[in-house]
Structure 1
Amino acid sequence: MPCYQLEGITPVVHPDAYVDPTAVLIGDVIVGPDCYVGPCASLRGDFGRLILKRGANLQDTCVMHGFPGTDTVVEEDGHIGHGAVLHGCRIGRNAMVGMNAVILDYAEIGESSIVAAGALVKGRFTCPPRSMVIGAPAVVKRELSEEEVRWKYEGTLEYQELARRYQRAMKPCDPLTEQEADRPRMRTNKIAPKGEEAAG
């Protein structure tokens, strides 16, 4: 992975984390155990500190950044969908940020909440635990059900297992020129989408 020390501060990646070789880590970045950082993610710790706590995932093309002196934090088991932008915010334990959502400075997403795909969460926004957050600008629509919280957590467990799968079995290769007649499928657990609100 492209990893850069800046002014004497070096990114930290726990040995049990997986960071894709195309992700970029600069400066004050801390990636905890069992984390997954996807292809082309950008963690630019040149002003504020960026922290992924145990079991968090930051998927393809996500961006983390923050103002000087701030912490941008994804708490334990946080789940950040493809293309999301986190800037100087805090994502609570077991919360999910949907694809292409933007979370701005000093916003705090409560534990076990879901921010819908494409949402724009304004600076200093806060929500209680187990909130469904939707819209641009985002608002709390309702409380999440036990089933939705469980579905989210199961999805996060898939990404923790994905980190282990990549560590075990991903390797560079040349593409085939034709599809095999008996081409196998990837083996994963069940996870299926729950609808448009929870896409991520």
Structure 2
Amino acid sequence: MPLFAFEGKRPTVHPEAFIAPTATLVGDVVVEKGASVWYGVVIRADLGRVIIREGANIQDNSVIHVNTGVCEVGKDATVGHLCLVHHCTIGESALIGNGAIVLDGAVVGSRTLVAAGATVTPGAEVPPESVAMGSPAKKIVPLEGTAKLFVDHNAAVYHDLARRHAASVEEVE
């Protein structure tokens, strides 16, 4: 797994976290216990700190970057495939849908679903237990039905999948 120090700051990865061999972490990145960072992900913390909390999963080809300060992905949160998370806060057990964008200073509440392809604009606040849709994400509805099931179960699915990858993935010659 490519880990790079930048100006004396280096990634810190808990031994029980899974970092895919093609993920890249640069600078002041903290990955806590049970978190997973998947294939092709880039997390660059050259100006501030990025914290991936316990049990969170950052899925394939997503990018996380921070300005000065902190960008945090909460405990058991999911950042789906091909997302851009830039200098914001993602709450506990939130789910950022595939291809979504969350921008500077935005706060996504706990147990919130940002729909696939949505854009949470700079400084926006998405309340807990809701679904944010659109680009920009202006339609906010209560978390219920299928969306609630995704939020309820996604972290557990990825905890198990990360364990399986950590135990058996190997490079093929």
TM-score (norm 2): 0.96
Does residue 1:7 correspond to 2:13, yes or no?
Answer: no
TM-score scaled by length of structure 1: 0.83
- The alpha carbon displacement at 1:170 in A equals 1.2
Shift of the alpha carbon at 1:139? 1.6
User: Residue 84 of structure 1 contacts residue 101 of structure 1 at CA under 8 Å; is this kept in 2?
Assistant: yes
Q: Which residue of 1 aligns with 2:156?
A: 157
3-state SS of paired residue (2:125): coil
Ranges in structure 1 where 5+ consecutive residues have no aligned partner = 175-200
Describe how 1:98-117 pairs up with structure 2 within 5 A: 98-117=97-116
SS of the aligned residue for 2:10 comes to coil
Q: Tell me the secondary structure at the aligned position of residue 126 of structure 2.
A: coil
Q: Where do 5+ consecutive residues of structure 2 fail to align?
A: none
Q: Which amino acid aligns with 1:9?
A: K
Counterpart code for 2:24: V
Contact map agreement 2:112 2:151 (CA 8 A) in 1: no
The aligned counterpart of 2:78 is 79
- 1 CA distance for matches of 2:38 and 2:157? 14
Note if 1:38 corresponds to 2:38: yes
Q: How does 1:175-186 map to 2 (within 5 A)?
A: none
Counterpart residue number, 2:135: 136
Q: What stretches of structure 1 move > 6 A for 4+ residues in a row?
A: none
Counterpart Cα distance in 2 of 1:153 and 1:40 = 26
> Does the 8 Å contact 2:33/2:54 carry over to 1?
yes
Partners of 2:124 and 2:54 in 1: how far apart?
24
CA RMSD of aligned residues (A): 1.2
User: Contact (CA 8 Å) 1:74, 1:92: kept in 2 or not?
Assistant: yes
Q: What is the rounded CA distance, in whole Å, between the counterparts of 2:145 and 2:48 in structure 1?
A: 35
Partner of 1:66: 66
Distance of 2:79 and 2:27 partners within structure 1: 21
Deviations 1:72-97 (A, max 9, x none): 11000100100000000000000000
The secondary structure found in structure 2 opposite 1:138 is coil
Please list, as runs of the form range in 1=range in 2, the aligned pairs for 1:45-56 lying within 5 A after superposition: 45-56=45-56
Contact 1:17–1:35, Cα closer than 8 Å, also in 2: yes
Superposed CA offset, 1:23-52 (max 9, x none): 111010000111111111000010121110
Give 1:23's aligned amino acid: A
Structure 2 match to 1:18: 18
